Amino acid sequence: MIDEGLLLWSPGPNSYTGEDLAEFHTHGSNAVVSCFLRVLGEQENCRLAEPGEFTKIAFQNNKWI
């Protein structure tokens, strides 16, 4: 084991956006974050969110209050 982190899973429709949502928490070192993002980027249908994307999706799914 190299490091530990935390995964929070929020299944839709009860999440902030109304869709399934995974949130990862890792330590903030550049090496850990760079490796983590590289590995995630190699996964199908996995990408970083655009600025404001979660709020936009929540609004589109009538979850914005």
**pLDDT, tens only, 3-38:** 788 999 999 999 999 999 999 998 888 988 898 899
**Domain range holding 39?**
6-60
The pLDDT of residue 1 is above 70: no
Distance (Å, whole) CA 2 – CA 8? 20
- Cβ neighbours for 58, distance < 8 A, ≥ 6 positions apart: 16, 17, 18, 64
27 in a structural domain: yes
The pLDDT of residue 42 is above 90: yes
Counted domains in the chain: 1
- Cβ neighbours for 54, distance < 8 A, ≥ 6 positions apart: 16, 17
Which tokens is 4 given?
């530990």
CATH assignment at residue 25:
3.30.1360.120
1 in a structural domain: no
The CA distances from residue 5 to 28, 31, 36, 58, in Å, are: 11, 14, 10, 26
Q: Enter the pTM of the model.
A: 0.69
Question: Once rounded to an integer, what is the mean pLDDT over residues 43-64?
Answer: 92
